[in-house]
Amino acid sequence: MIYWNSFADFLHMGGYGFYVWGSFGVTALIMAVEPILVARNRKTTIARLKRQLRAESRTPTE
Amino acid sequence: MLKIIFAVIGRDLKLAMRRQADIVSALFFFVIVVSLFPLGIGPEPDLLRKLAPGVLWVAALLATMLSLPRLFADDHRDGTLEQLALAPHPLGLVVTGKVIAHWLVSGLPLALIAPVLGVQFDLTGDGLFVLTAAILLGTPALSGIGAIGAALTLGLRGGGVLLSLLVLPLYIPVLIFGAGAVDATVSGLGGEGHLSLLAAMTFASLGFAPWASAAALKIALE
Amino acid sequence: MKDRFNLYRFASPATFYPLAGTLIPYFAAIAVLFGIAGLYLGMLVAPTDFQQGEGYRIIFIHVPASWMSMFIYLVMAFWAAIGLAFNTRLSGMMAQALAPTGALMAFLSLWTGALWGKPMWGTWWVWDARLTSELILLFLYIGYMALTAAIDDPRRADKAGGLLLLVGVVNIPIIYFSVKWWNTLHQGSSVNLTKSSMATTMLYGMLLMAMCFWMYSIAVALMRVRTIMLERERNADWVKAELAGDVQ
């Protein structure tokens, strides 16, 4: 089933290794980093909103 | 309908005449940018003739951009725009008038001075004529599309740079066919096809863009 | 009647927020599954292309990325039209949540296109009609994001961005046509990629990867839209309740 004879062949990509892995590598990197950035942005936003909410709820009682 | 458009054109022209320095600066910007290219590239006539259409058109796009931020900004600042938006006649007609007035003070002068600059680039006869015709036919589309960008960025910080970011990609078809018309004429293929496409784009954008700009203005004024 | 009621219910941020939260893991899991299947078929099983050797395997990400970059712009324009026509709050948020992913897809399409072009055509970049249009599409994404970022009032940002998207959608065919025409004038028919017919395995691999990219985009956009919702609706009761609880 599997087309490649060895792992080295797979990495070599018939001489196109740099181009193929350059494409797949950057794509994988972006698809890994984008969700992380979105998640981090979400965390900081939630933290900021919580702080604001607490500050707001404190003011009227004092 | 025409009465409104003409009234707006007359008013905007009168206002523009009070600030002639702006018109002249945009024109000199055009001249200077175009004159820089031979200095950067070299004086070979063959090369310059080849580059002339593209250089003149790109410079024309940039020169048109210069005056766009002011298209609605002054009226917005003194409240005229809000009055116009509340008036019973459609805002799209008012914008049509403003776009035509903008073209008269920005696009038309470019077309008038373009042949002189074309001579600097060793264009001759037909090439010069088609260059002028193309700029004459294409620049109204630039004013029209630019009005949408000007309306969208009205009152925003960094509006000028943002405006060019929004509008320049939309200018690409005009650039392609405008420069293409001159290219085709110089190489002997005949530029009539390009010129008619340019005219079509101008009419389409003059019909469509003012209404989109009016919608954008209403969003900005809310 | 009931149908319409449901539609409105899900268009409200208070109900959409938890729904999106439950859906994200599913979309992410489906994306991973499609990705594994697509990579297996495309990278391990599919035979080499007789014209392009192994270099053709870039197609398994290049084409899905290009498709998604165009599709996401259309979806954004769809949301923009809905938002402008019915004045719904959710649609503008959806458009804004999709934009960065769409821009990244356009970038990936250009990046992989360059890496494909180098061995096949001998240069990183050719002013091919499709490459050029893709570049302009990236400019349109950047313009949209810059415009919405510059406007402080979210309602105005949604509407102005929406209008820009609609203008962009009207212009895209004109831009594509003019670039294509310009390209045929300036370049012979030396660049032609669509000649080779694809083997079935390759086609399936590509479709699986396209599904993976699609599901990935939905998952990331939903993640992003949830944050935008919290930010925008910070004064609504449901957000306060959400924040008072232990949200992740």
- pLDDT at residue number C246: 61
B152/C160 Cβ within 8 A:
yes
Q: Which among C5, C193, C162, C181 has a CA at the least distance from the CA of C75?
A: C162
Query: Is the Cβ of C239 closer than 8 Å to some Cβ of chain A?
Result: yes
Helix (H, G, I), strand (E, B) or coil at C48: coil
What span, in angstroms and rounded, lies between the C-alpha atoms of A59 and A40? Answer: 29
Say if C81 is an interface residue toward chain B (CB within 8 Å): no
Of the candidates B169, A25, B61, B176, the residue with the CA atom closest to the CA atom of residue C135: B169
End-to-end CA distance of chain A: 73
Asked if A28 is an interface residue toward chain C (Cβ–Cβ < 8 A), one would say: no
Amino acid identity at B48? L
Q: How confident is the model at residue C109 (pLDDT cuts 50, 70, 90)?
A: very high
Q: How does pLDDT run across C1-16, given as a tens digit for each residue?
A: 344 555 566 678 888 8
Nearest to B59 by CA among B100, B106, B125, B98: B106
User: What average pLDDT score do residues B101-127 get?
Assistant: 88
Q: Which residue has the higher pLDDT, C241 or C106?
A: C106
3-state secondary structure of B138: helix
Q: In this complex, which of B162, B177, B180 lies closest to C150 when CB atoms are compared?
A: B162
Q: Return the pLDDT at C192.
A: 47
Section B12-22 average pLDDT: 85
CA distance C221 to chain A (A): 9
Question: How many C-beta atoms lie closer than 10 Å to residue C181's C-beta?
Answer: 18
Instruction: Name the residue among C140, C163, C175 with its Cβ closest to that of B173.
Output: C175
Cα of C223 to nearest chain A Cα, Å: 7
The answer, for C182 touching chain B at a CB cutoff of 8 Å, is yes
DSSP secondary structure code for residue C187 in this structure: S
Average pLDDT, whole number, for chain B? Answer: 88
CA angle B175, B176, B179 (to 5 degrees): 75
Contact check, Cβ <8 Å, C55/A27: no
Structure confidence at residue A61 as a pLDDT band (50, 70, 90): low
Burial grade of B179 (CB within 10 A; 0-12, 13-18, 19 or more): buried
Question: Nearest CA to CA, how far is C159 from chain B (Å)?
Answer: 7
Every domain of chain B and the residues it spans: 2-221
pTM: 0.88
- Please tell me which residue of chain C has the smallest CA distance to A48: C231
B176, B162 contact by CB (below 8 A) = no
Q: Which residue has the higher pLDDT, B188 or B134?
A: B134
Chains that touch C (3 or more CB pairs under 8 A): A, B
pLDDT at C1: 38
User: pLDDT tens, B150-162?
Assistant: 999 998 887 788 9
Distance of CA C243 to the CA centre of its chain: 30
| Per-position b or e across A2-40, b if 16+ CB within 10 A of its CB | eeeeeeeeeebbeebeebbbbbbebbeebbeebbeebee
Question: Which residue did the predictor score with more confidence, B192 or B210?
Answer: B210
In this structure, are residues A34 and C101 in contact, taking their beta carbons and an 8 Å threshold? yes
> For residue B80, how many C-alpha atoms fall within 13 Å in the half-sphere facing its CB?
13
Angle between helical axes of C59-86 and C200-232 (0-180°, round to 10): 40
> DSSP of A21-62, one letter per residue?
HHHHHHHHHHHHHHHHHHHHHHHHHHHHHHHHHHHHHHHHH-
Residue in A13, A14, A53 nearest the CB of C243: A53
Determine whether the interchain pair B170/C168 forms a contact, defined as Cβ–Cβ distance below 8 Å: yes
pLDDT of C179: 80
Q: Return the C-alpha torsion angle C57, C59, C65, C71, nearest 10.
A: -150
Mean residue pLDDT across chain C = 84
State the maximum Cα–Cα separation within chain B, in Å, rounded to a whole number: 59
A7 reaches C (C-beta below 8 A): no
**C-alpha–C-alpha distance, residues B187 and B121, integer Å:** 15
Which tens digit of pLDDT belongs to each residue from A2-51? 777 777 777 777 778 888 888 899 999 999 999 999 999 999 999 898 88
Cβ–Cβ < 8 Å for C13, C90: yes
- The string of pLDDT tens digits covering residues C123-138 is 888 777 778 888 999 9
pLDDT score for B51? 87
Place of tokens 């001249």: B31
Q: Phi/psi class of residue B190: alpha, beta or left (left: φ > 0; alpha: ψ in -120 to 50)?
A: left
Contact between chains at C115 and A19 (C-beta distance less than 8 A): yes
pLDDT at C142: 95
